[in-house]
Amino acid sequence: MRSFSDLSLRLARNSSTANHKVEQAGQDPATAEDIDAFYALIIKQDFSNFAYLEQGRVVHEMIKTTIESFQ
């Protein structure tokens, strides 16, 4: 479980990095003209946000299942 101890933190960093890259790309005129690169950034942003939220949901379900098993 050691590899998962900081997973939430790493996913949050990836998510905020992806959000920051999309924000910068939207302000940069050179990137704004390259729609394929901007689309790739948007896809990475969506997947990183999804991974962070899904990891939180999984942790919640694991805790819930553990608590329910003792009742």
Task: Give the dihedral of Cα atoms 9, 12, 14, 19; nearest 10 deg.
Answer: -160
Q: What is the pLDDT of residues 17-70, one digit of tens each?
A: 999 998 888 887 776 678 888 889 999 999 999 999 999 999 899 999 999 998
pLDDT at 17: 93
pLDDT at 26: 80
Residue with tokens 């948007």: 42
Q: Distance (Å, rounded) from C-alpha 44 to C-alpha 22?
A: 9
pLDDT at 31: 67
Domain ranges of the chain: 2-69
Check residue 57 and report its DSSP letter: H
Would you call 45 helix, strand, or coil by DSSP?
helix
